[in-house]
A = this chain, B = another copy of it.
Amino acid sequence: MGYLRIGQLSARTGINNETLRFYEARGLMSEPRRSEAGYRLYTEADVRKAEFIVRAKKMGFGLKDISELLSLRVEKESSTCGEVKDLAEAKLLEIEQKIEELQRMKGALEQITEACCGGQESAIHCTILNALDQIDDPAEVSARVAVRA
């Protein structure tokens, strides 16, 4: 019935056949059912797993991190619940830092696109490093806000 072969999973996820087998070898994708002839048979759950891997990679996680994230699993009556929580909390912290950093960078890019094309004198802060410096400095930020208002 609704099983996908490797080529179809590849088409659905944009991950190449070889790469899917590579992920399996690394323990990222779990070993799928096989057809009589030995073909891999994937489920919708595998599709979601593969899509998760793609997204996590875009966010800068390595395969090892992704593997850890995927293995986060609270088992009923598990004594490992504390460990799981610890790992999840560590990853949470990592993610929160990434978000903060990305938001700073977003601010800097917005400053470049908004403030830097137009005035003659404005070109002083018009590199990402200068824009970030401004964002670092609270006085400068409020000054900028005041000028704009």
**What residues of chain A have their CB less than 8 Å away from a CB belonging to chain B?**
45, 48-49, 52, 55-61, 69-70, 72-77, 81-82, 84-85, 88-89, 91-92, 95-99, 101-103, 105-106, 109-110, 112-113, 116-117, 120, 123, 126-129, 132-133
Interface of A is mostly: helix
A106-B95, A110-B92, A123-B74 known; A84 vs B128 contact (CB < 8 Å) = no
| Contact, CB under 8 Å: B88 / A98 | no
| Contact, CB under 8 Å: B117 / A72 | no
Task: Identify the closest chain B residue to A96 (Cβ).
Answer: B106
A60-B60, A112-B84 known; A69 vs B101 contact (CB < 8 Å) = no
Report Cα–Cα, A57/B60, bound state, in Å.
8
Report Cα–Cα, A58/B104, bound state, in Å.
14
